[in-house]
Structure 1
């Protein structure tokens, strides 16, 4: 199957949706009178979520110091990923089975509640509780957006849409870290969470209004094994939490770390499509690749910010500027890949090129941390990685949805999110444990970035395999 630049054809079953839910497309036009409300609302919500994500990355060292929870730095960031595991497992089948309205409303409400808890947090436990709610609500909303794209956007136009979603991170990624640093220094980090609360409430309402009449209908028989999937997701979430807690403790608690890691891996084998853990051809390989790239990029961003502020003495604002540079290159990569919509071979080529560039991020930062080289080199390395992320992320997403069978868009969209969430939760927990047992911050960060470099190199190998052997064209139901 090839990506058609002129929209769905009669043989494109994965592009079909219930008649009552179909938003018409006009050949090669993405923006139409019927589709623009969905597109505008999705981009607005993603942009606001992006701002919150970059803001948290910048201010989290300050939050941890102020609330007396430096040892919970990794978990405060990864808490959203941990809770998101359950949400994404629940949301995929829910959206396919019952439509997108209810998961969208539930997710937006919980995300807003989590932001409110962070605004009012008096200690680190309360703050982490808010982050957990944000993760659960954000996980629901993210999968809903994937389901809406799969239902309402023609196959040949999806790379452009995913390119727009990536570009929607540009302004928040550029301004988010800088604004977050400045607001924290001038007023308080709580102001940031309050502002995001207001903005996301408005954006969620806009998306609801744009899709409410299209989101009632689901696909009969689209979901199966809901309780078993949810049970494994809960097990993975709890195990990831134990990983974070156990890694920060002494004595017998440390024995829980390998056990919890095994539980996460076993849960992943049950939650993700068969063959994902060995990167089998087709959607399993794409989902595995998304997970490897995700944990490499997330870990590099989280610990680069910590390194710049705690080891090199940069202010939150300067550290924010350093990280924000990658936003421009991310947008450039997204724009570059969006200019060509062609065959599956094109997808594989963009994916391989992008992942190769992502490897530069942790590899260059590792060299800087180990040798105390100029900080500017780390910024350049992270900027190159941003170019790679903007290039490969939209293509991984569109290639996966291209292989989705009828009624499977939500499940495969959830699988992408779950794969990345599981990888990032497990990776950040283990990296947090490495940092906790290190005798010095610099020594711990050298170990952290060495592991991240290895993970990115593994992703590059998988990407080359994707280039050499394109996925099967048979529709996938996410089983």
Structure 2
């Protein structure tokens, strides 16, 4: 890596000039390249959700349907761990290009698959790459952007999710219907490679930092163990009764053991400072995505909404998320601690309001408004936690801590979805209202716990 600093790029140790923004000439290429990659990852994730029922039918792979999602999340844990270590020892270039290569290879493998097993293999490779790229992008932010601009670049990352969340499912449906499901996978590499190429000049000019010494393979082995645990959690979520418990209990135990070894000391007990920042990321994401997984089903089953209108309801959460993220990055005058308190409160109240949809007689617009408030809380939280993580991390540890932040999210979301799925299956035959409410209550409890943890995120 070239250790000199280009005239067009500031060192992150310098503060930005008052007129600088993430789109000023010295940052424009890096910002556009990273946001483009984030948008493509987001579009692909949302588009595959829409296309997968057609894929499973054509490839006769309904038995592997859940694992096609869970497996991607599992291998992303391995990608995040490897990328965090590589970024701290060699810089973010190696994990970014390696992750991009795996991401593209996985998409091509899935798009050309002739059976569900091959498609599943492609999804596993794709998850490995997506996890690596996500950590590398966080490290680039930490090393390239001054602290005053980091809230804005993370707001731009949130914007990179909004447009795909608005048009991704509909566009994917059109592609599946008129072109074929394979192009949902094959079209993304055509854009991902040029987007990543935009980053090359900025990455060559990044200032060097002292490399961290990491010789032990234990974190990598723990990542593989956690990936197995995540897959078993998803398998358990598809089972019922004693079989589900027999798989879920050892899976959660394996996850807990591996998570303790992979995350910074004190994370599982929410110690003050960085550990609580990491825990809060997992709690908030689990609360939000635990609701999001069941909201479309609730609106269509209990209120008769079409897929189009159910998708529009989800868009309210995406718009709220973007609004909260944009506010914290451009207009908020309060401290990060206050933003976290406000965000967790909005998350809890929003989930409680959204849960009213569990009663068929309740007006849908109240639930949609609640989901918008839930998204607003996530927007205030998500970017703020990213900013705090980088602020609390020495430059030589930004890779491993970025990895830990996203690892905690992946592990807790996977566990929450599996537990929520088991609760839903257990109560559905008795009472659909109770089945849906069990998931909202679980998410609400996580949001309230997050409000407690948010008060521990300041450095000791």
Counterpart residue number, 2:71: 79
Q: Contact 2:356 / 2:366 at 8 angstroms: preserved in 1?
A: no
Q: 1:405 to 1:417 in 2, by over 3 A?
A: same
2-side partners of 1:99 and 1:144: how far apart? 9
Q: 1:155 to 1:193 in 2, by over 3 A?
A: same
Runs of 4+, deviation exceeding 6 Å: none
Counterpart residue number, 2:347: 358
Is 1:178 the counterpart of 2:170? The answer is: yes
Q: Contact 2:103 / 2:128 at 8 angstroms: preserved in 1?
A: yes
Q: 1:82 to 1:105 in 2, by over 3 A?
A: same
Is 1:239 the counterpart of 2:223? The answer is: no
Q: 1:161 to 1:428 in 2, by over 3 A?
A: same
Is 1:27 the counterpart of 2:27? The answer is: no
2-side partners of 1:115 and 1:233: how far apart? 23
Matched ranges for 1:341-356 at <5 A: 346-356=335-345
1:201-227, Cα deviation, whole Å (9 max, x unpaired)? 3322333x234524695633x142541
Number of residue-to-residue matches in the alignment: 449
Is 1:412 the counterpart of 2:401? The answer is: yes
Counterpart residue number, 1:327: 318
Counterpart residue number, 2:458: 470
Farther off after superposition, 251-260 or 239-248: 251-260
Q: Contact 2:3 / 2:207 at 8 angstroms: preserved in 1?
A: no
Question: By how many angstroms is 1:287 displaced?
Answer: 0.3
Is 1:50 the counterpart of 2:42? The answer is: yes
1-side partners of 2:347 and 2:64: how far apart? 27
Counterpart residue number, 2:277: 286
Question: By how many angstroms is 1:185 displaced?
Answer: 4.7
The counterpart of 2:246, out of the listed 251, 255, 270, is 255
1:87-146, Cα deviation, whole Å (9 max, x unpaired)? 111111101101222211110111112222332345544433332222110010000001
TM score, norm. by length of structure 2: 0.88
Q: Contact 1:88 / 1:139 at 8 angstroms: preserved in 2?
A: yes
Counterpart residue number, 1:428: 417
1-side partners of 2:109 and 2:353: how far apart? 37
Question: By how many angstroms is 1:248 displaced?
Answer: 2.8
Question: By how many angstroms is 1:242 displaced?
Answer: 1.7
1-side partners of 2:192 and 2:95: how far apart? 16
TM score, norm. by length of structure 1: 0.85
Q: Contact 1:182 / 1:317 at 8 angstroms: preserved in 2?
A: no
Q: Contact 2:43 / 2:164 at 8 angstroms: preserved in 1?
A: yes
Q: 1:76 to 1:432 in 2, by over 3 A?
A: farther
Q: 1:194 to 1:324 in 2, by over 3 A?
A: farther
Q: 1:338 to 1:246 in 2, by over 3 A?
A: closer
1-side partners of 2:312 and 2:182: how far apart? 20
Question: By how many angstroms is 1:297 displaced?
Answer: 1.6
Q: Which structure 2 residue ranges, 5 or more long, are not aligned?
A: none
Q: CA RMSD in A?
A: 2.8
Q: 1:314 to 1:195 in 2, by over 3 A?
A: farther
Counterpart residue number, 2:380: 391
Farther off after superposition, 437-446 or 329-338: 437-446
Q: Contact 1:179 / 1:317 at 8 angstroms: preserved in 2?
A: no
Counterpart residue number, 1:210: 201
Q: Which structure 1 residue ranges, 5 or more long, are not aligned?
A: 1-16, 473-479
The counterpart of 1:318, out of the listed 261, 285, 309, is 309
Q: 1:419 to 1:182 in 2, by over 3 A?
A: same
Matched ranges for 1:101-116 at <5 A: 101-116=93-108
Secondary structure of 1:24's counterpart equals coil
Q: 1:121 to 1:355 in 2, by over 3 A?
A: farther
1:426-467, Cα deviation, whole Å (9 max, x unpaired)? 22233333344455393543333332222222212222x24x
Q: 1:72 to 1:452 in 2, by over 3 A?
A: farther
